[in-house]
Amino acid sequence: MAVHAHPDDESSKGAATMAKYVAEGVDVVVVTCTGGERGSVLNPALDNPQTWENISEIRRAEMDKAREILGVRQQWLGFVDSGLPEGDPLPPLPEGSFAVTPLEESVPRLVELIRQDRPHVMLTYDENGGYPHPDHIMTHNVSMAAFEAAADPDYHPELGEPWQISKVYYHMGMSRARMEAIDKYIVDHGGEPVYEEWLANWAKRRDTFTRVTTRIECGEYFHVRDDALRAHATQVDPEGRWFAASMDAQLSAWPTEDYELARSVIESEIPETDLFAGVRSSVKETA
């Protein structure tokens, strides 16, 4: 189960990993916490009044197309996008949006899905949301609270039989180390670096790669990831930096998607190359 804040997050974070496991026969479900109603339109070709008038329906249709490309199932948690307020001081978040919804209201919805789908592994964001979008931070909070609550037989028993998720991982894909490695490969092969601006803006940011425990070889599914991301046509510029690095550079310099093992109730040896390390043997023992 991969828990994400908005439609398109599932295609920019861990998509190749999901496609790999789907191809191996794993049942993968994406839980999308909000409808992405307040997201930006980042594709200049689609930034027009008609898009904005129909943004909710468009984002759901884009999600459905991406879901089909990835081969996953998908569930909406049903909350409203909080947007990304800007200004100094920051304006308040919209009333009723996901980031200001009490955990008492949001956690039960995810607990019900966990008990329904009974996943062995959950993917979510770290305590900073991967980046400090209020919906991403709330996704972390809800995910971790639901991880605990779903296994508690006294927590809302009407939501289903308790279920203990074996492992929880945080996405660690947007690391400095990855961007530097890809840029170095490009420059070494006579090209121009593509991540210089992003790296310059991260000058004071700690590299999340220091937290990585688990690296999934999934380069052969990078094209599936990119196709799924392009399906979110309003959210990505097809000429932008998401697609600037050549596939050769990515496969040669960094053919993995990376994670931090945040919680585990089973034993597995670190570093890992499989999200299900320790899970498969545990399932066999209890079967």
Q: Name the 3-class secondary structure at 89.
A: coil
The secondary structure of residue 122, as a DSSP letter, is E
Beta strands 256-264 and 167-171: pairing type?
antiparallel
**Torsion angle in degrees (nearest 10) through CA of 170, 171, 172, 174:** -150
Closest CA to 11 of 25, 27, 32, 26: 32
Which residues are annotated as part of the binding site for Zn(2+)? 6, 9, 136
Residue 35: left (phi > 0), alpha (psi -120 to 50), or beta? alpha
C-alpha count within 13 angstroms, C-beta hemisphere, residue 57: 5
Which residues are annotated as part of the binding site? 6, 9, 136
Q: Name the 3-class secondary structure at 2.
A: strand
Cα 140 off chain centre by: 11
Retrieve residue 100's tokens.
């200001």
Buried b / exposed e over 174-208, threshold 16 CB at 10 Å, is: bbbebbbbbbebbeeeeeebbbeeeeeeeeeeeeb
